[in-house]
């Protein structure tokens, strides 16, 4: 079982990790994962068929903004592995795939959003030290760690076999599960608070609440909120511009235009 | 294409490097507070290295301002990378540029660009590609997965490439013009306004909380607390938690304590059955 488990874990690492390492090229989708798992276990046809069936099931499972409803890679790899190497019949393997996908999505979410937070201070430190090289190491180190740990899930699942996996998926206390998945929902608040620290001013704070209300109550998509924001900004701009020219003509300071002109000249010189 | 020919040779070299690096933008995820900030920093590093050459202080400040939360559909996000490169250039060249405008503009673009990007690439293109892929693969053909990958990736990578240039060119001319007619201050204000509005919108959509607590009533339907919370103020808990975090941050509380607090809060709520 050990070589099979290693191969399956490798498959998850390559497909899932590879997808996110390079361009989200969709090699994490069941269609592709099925093919690769099939190649690894010497039954390409079963792999492709499983992939097609699972792609249809997981079509709606998309990772948007780090929130994931079901994680298709682990599900596809485990289902295909069980079907090819353990002779679990295809239907049963497919049925097992869905709860595994949900469970794996939770583990993935927890790893990426909560566990990986321990590296957030390191990012700040690297920036404070002005060290791009360390940033590169950190960036790819985090990638490796995250997906390596994640593929261990598949490794141990294959070692355990189909039955125990099924039991485990149903045996986790619901309270704990609910609490852990609630962390994923609330943690982005800290990230937004950090962003707000940079932009907040008493004068502009109402716009934060405007954006909130537009999304929470009117359920407007973010594109619509942005469009309204741009309209507001334009109106504000025209007003501010008028005030600016007014105050400039009041003071009748010819010094300012010349300064601007000088600067423009300087810039021209710079660009040449 | 004209877009890629209008830039100088040195610019093109830098933009191509940003384009290639942008493929790795989502490789790491530094938790929910920073998300893909390291990937963003890594991607725009060619611009920072170029414009802050011989200015370690400027380079450090630029790195520090980009450590904040970042997340945009990755093949559309290159637009912002190009734009940020153009703004960092301006910031390095001029003294009275307000660098906060860079973060504000970046932040304000995250929501809408992701909205457009997710729906075009995830919602439409991927579904079309998968539809064709499934129909071939369910007959056991290897062409299924292969066509799926080609149909999705060719338009997606082209978009990624041209948007890098579009962001830079647009940013360059736009900011230049702002600068010349002295509306740089107005731009900062506008960017902050838009940024705050989009953070408000993201607070409503991406910070989520749902209570399953219900008060049983004899001989009637139980009263779900969440319904009451929603009637009181929709998204009350997410808003309160976000503002609470902001308040703590402005009181100079260490971010890690705040994080830990939010984590514990959620887990405890789960254990006692609130969520």
DSSP line for chain A: -HHHHHHHHHHHIIIIIHHHHTTT-STTSHHHHHHHHHHHTT-HHHHHHHHHHHHHHHTT---BTTB-S--HHHHHHHHHHHHHHS---HHHHHHHHHHHHHHHHHHHHIIIIIGGGGGHHHHHHHHHTT-HHHHHHHHHHHHHHHHHHHHHHHHHHHHH-HHHHHHHHHHS-HHHHHHHHHHHHHTHHHHHHHHHHHH--TTTHHHHHHHHHHHHTS---HHHHHHHHHHHHHHHHHHHHHHHHHHHHHHT-THHHHHHHHHHHHHHHHH-
State whether B267 and A215 contact (CB < 8 Å).
Answer: no
Q: DSSP string spanning B164-187?
A: HHHHHHHHHHHHHHHHHTT-HHHH
Domain ranges (residues) in chain B: 2-203, 207-271
For the residues B135-140, what does the mean pLDDT come to?
A: 89
- By Cβ distance, the residue of A45, A48, A143 closest to B145 is A48
Which of chain A's residues have a Cβ under 8 Å away from the Cβ of B201?
211-212, 214-215, 220, 222, 225
What is the band of B115 on the pLDDT scale with cuts at 50, 70, 90? confident
- Closest to A80 in 3D by CA, of A100, A60, A105, A61: A100
- What does the domain layout of chain A look like in residue ranges? 2-194, 201-271
The reported pTM is 0.84
- Ranges A233-237, A257-261, B20-24: which has the least confidence: A257-261
Write the CB contacts of A229 (distance below 8 Å, at least 6 apart in sequence). Answer: A207, A211, B108, B193, B194, B197, B198
By Cβ distance, the residue of B75, B189, B198 closest to A225 is: B198
- pLDDT of B40 strictly over 90: yes
Residue A258 has pLDDT above 80, yes or no: no
Mean pLDDT estimate for chain B = 89
Task: Tell me the two tokens of residue A266.
Answer: 């300087």
- In this structure, the strands spanning B214-215 and B223-224 are antiparallel
By CB atoms closer than 10 A (0-12, 13-18, 19+), residue B64 is: middle
Instruction: Please give the Cα distance from A2 to A156 (Å, whole number).
Output: 10
Whether residue B38 has pLDDT greater than 90: yes
What residues pair up with B214 in beta bridges, in sequence order? Answer: B224
| pLDDT tens track for A50-66 | 999 888 878 765 554 44
Looking at residue A65, what is its pLDDT? Answer: 45
The shortest C-alpha distance from A164 to chain B (Å) reads: 25
Question: Would the CB atoms of A192 and B202 count as touching at under 8 Å?
Answer: yes
Is residue B39 within 8 A of residue B28, CB to CB? The reply is yes
**Rounded Cα gap, residues B16 and B176, in angstroms:** 22
- Cβ–Cβ gap A197/B235 under 8 Å: no
B82-94: pLDDT as tens digits: 999 999 999 999 8
Q: Is the pLDDT of residue B1 over 70?
A: no
pLDDT digits (tens, 9 = 90+) for A111-161: 888 889 889 989 999 999 999 999 999 999 999 999 999 999 999 999 988
Does residue B169 register a pLDDT over 50?
yes
Percent of chain A topping pLDDT 90: 44
| Cβ-defined contact of A185 to B207 (cutoff 8 Å) | yes
Is B89 an 8 Å CB contact of chain A? Answer: no
Contact across the interface for B183 and A196, Cβ inside 8 Å: no
- B60, B104, B115 member nearest A221 (Cβ): B115
Binary contact (A55, B134; C-beta < 8 A): yes
Query: Which residues of chain A neighbour B115 with C-beta distances below 8 Å?
Result: 221-223, 226
Please report the residues numbered 129 through 188 in chain A whose beta carbons come closer than 8 angstroms to any beta carbon of chain B. 129-130, 132, 135-136, 138-143, 146, 175-188
B195/A187 Cβ within 8 A? no
Q: What is the ipTM of this complex?
A: 0.84
Interface test with B, best of A32, A191, A210, A223 (most B CBs within 10 A): A191
Task: Using an 8 Å CB-CB cutoff, list chain A residues near B250.
Answer: 197
Nearest C-alpha in B relative to A189: B242
- CB burial of A19-36 (b: ≥16 within 10 Å; e: otherwise) equals bbbebbbbbbbbbbbbbb
């Amino acid at each position: 079982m050990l070589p099979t488990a290693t191969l399956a874990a490798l498959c998850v690492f390559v497909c899932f990790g590879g997808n996110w390492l390079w361009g989200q090229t969709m090699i994490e989708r069941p269609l592709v994962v099925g093919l690769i798992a099939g190649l690894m276990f010497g039954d390409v046809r079963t792999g492709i068929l499983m992939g097609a069936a699972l792609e249809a099931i997981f079509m709606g499972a998309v990772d948007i903004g780090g929130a994931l409803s079901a994680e298709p890679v682990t599900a596809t790899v485990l289902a295909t592995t069980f079907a090819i190497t353990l002779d679990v019949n295809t239907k049963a393997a497919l049925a097992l795939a869905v709860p595994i996908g949900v469970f794996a999505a939770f583990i993935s979410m927890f790893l990426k959003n909560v566990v990986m937070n321990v590296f957030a201070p390191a990012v700040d430190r690297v920036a404070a030290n002005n060290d791009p090289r360390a940033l590169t190491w950190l960036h790819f180190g985090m990638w490796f760690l995250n997906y390596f740990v994640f593929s261990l899930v598949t490794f141990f699942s294959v070692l355990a076999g189909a039955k125990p996996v099924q039991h485990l998926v149903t045996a986790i206390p619901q309270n704990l599960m609910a609490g852990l998945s609630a962390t994923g929902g609330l943690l982005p608040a800290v990230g937004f608070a950090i962003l707000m620290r940079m932009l907040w001013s008493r004068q502009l704070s109402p716009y934060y609440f405007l954006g909130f209300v537009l999304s929470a109550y009117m359920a407007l998509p973010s594109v619509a909120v942005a469009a309204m924001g741009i309209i507001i900004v334009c109106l504000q701009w025209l007003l501010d511009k008028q005030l600016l020219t007014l105050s400039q003509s009041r003071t009748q300071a010819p010094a300012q235009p010349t300064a601007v002109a000088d600067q423009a000249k300087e810039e021209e010189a710079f660009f040449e | 294409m004209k877009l890629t020919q209008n830039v100088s040779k040195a610019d093109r070299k830098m933009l191509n490097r940003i384009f290639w690096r942008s493929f790795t933008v989502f490789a790491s995820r530094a938790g929910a507070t920073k998300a893909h900030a390291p990937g963003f920093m890594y991607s725009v590093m060619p611009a920072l290295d170029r414009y802050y050459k011989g200015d370690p202080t400027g380079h450090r400040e630029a790195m520090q301002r980009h450590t904040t939360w970042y997340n945009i559909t990755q093949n559309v996000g290159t637009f912002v990378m190009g734009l940020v490169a153009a703004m960092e250039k301006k910031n390095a060249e001029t003294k009275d540029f307000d660098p906060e405008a860079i973060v504000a503009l970046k932040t304000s673009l995250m929501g809408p660009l992701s909205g457009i990007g997710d729906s075009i690439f995830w919602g439409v293109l991927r579904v079309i590609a998968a539809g064709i892929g499934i129909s071939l693969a369910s007959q056991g053909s290897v062409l299924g997965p292969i066509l799926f990958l080609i149909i999705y990736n060719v338009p997606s990578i082209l978009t990624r490439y041209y948007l890098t240039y579009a962001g830079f060119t647009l940013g360059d001319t736009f900011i230049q013009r702002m600068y010349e007619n002295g509306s740089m201050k107005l731009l900062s204000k506008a960017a902050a306004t838009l940024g705050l509005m989009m953070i408000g919108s993201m607070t409503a959509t991406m910070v989520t909380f749902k209570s399953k607590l219900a008060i049983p009533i004899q001989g009637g339907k139980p009263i779900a607390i969440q319904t009451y919370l929603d009637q009181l103020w929709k998204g009350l808990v997410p808003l309160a938690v976000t503002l609470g975090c902001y308040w703590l941050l402005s009181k100079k509380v260490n971010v890690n304590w705040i994080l830990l607090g939010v984590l514990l809060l959620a887990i405890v709520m789960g254990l006692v059955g609130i969520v």
